[in-house]
Structure 1
Amino acid sequence: MFALVNIIAMIAQAVVMLVIIQFVIGLLFSFNVVSPSNGFLMQVYRSINALLDPVLKPIRRLLPETGAIDFSPLVLIIVLNAIVYILSDVAMRTV
């Protein structure tokens, strides 16, 4: 059971890192630190978006419209951490 929880925790950490990388690249594009015409960085950004959009779209539909600020990545991070904590607690209680 512990091995399964650890694997899920590692996957959750990887997803959180992808969300953070997506956020940072988006900020770099928004503040013109890096030009969106930078082919490599744009491809990385599109790839991460392709991975995360299926997970973030349902969250975006549930959240109220907040204008320019997208809170769905924050909600995703909180939900993933909650799942890992709950599974860890269940694994500890089964011992």
Structure 2
Amino acid sequence: MKAILLVLDLVLQLAIWVLIIQAVLSWLIAFNVVNTRNGFVMSIWQALHQVTEPLLRPIRGFLPRTSGIDLAPLVLILLIIFLRYVNHLYLIPNVP
């Protein structure tokens, strides 16, 4: 059981990195540092968007509209960090 909780922690850490990479890539696209007409950039953007959008869409639904700033990734990262703390402080130590 402890191994499953450690794998869950690894998946949550990977999700944080995917959200950070997606946010940085969106900034690079917004400031025209990278171009979405490049096939490689577009394929990475689409893959990251398909992975993160199902998680971010419900959060965007209850957050207030802000002009140009998407706070949904930040909220999701904070939620994932909270889940990781719960996992480390309460679940893993109590598993034999």
* Aligned residue identity for 1:28: L
The code of the aligned residue for 1:16 comes to: I
Answering whether residue 68 of structure 2 is matched by residue 68 of structure 1, we say yes
- Residue 92 of structure 1 corresponds to 93
Deviations for 1:63-88, whole angstroms, at most 9, x for unmatched residues?
11112100100111110110111121
What is the percent sequence identity of the aligned residues? 34
State the match for 2:12 in structure 1.
12
Runs of 5+ unmatched residues, structure 1:
none
Which whole-Å CA distance do the structure 1 matches of 2:4 and 2:80 have between them? 15
Aligned-partner Cα distance in 2 for 1:36–1:94: 47
- The AA in structure 2 aligned to 1:44 is I
Aligned length: 95
Name the TM-score, length of structure 1 as normaliser. 0.91
Distance 2:69 2:56 in 1: 14
Q: 2:10 corresponds to which letter in structure 1?
A: M
Equivalent positions of 1:1-40 (< 5 A) are: 1-40=1-40
Quick one: distance in 2 between partners of 1:24 and 1:73? Answer: 11
Root-mean-square deviation (CA, aligned residues, Å) is 1.3
Instruction: Detail structure 1 runs of 4+ shifted over 6 Å in the superposition.
Output: none
* CA distance in structure 2 between the aligned counterparts of 1:78 and 1:34, rounded to whole angstroms: 28
| More moved, 18-27 vs 1-10 | 1-10
Any gaps of 5 or more consecutive residues in structure 2? none
SS of structure 2 residue aligned to 1:92: coil
For normalisation by structure 2, the TM-score amounts to 0.90
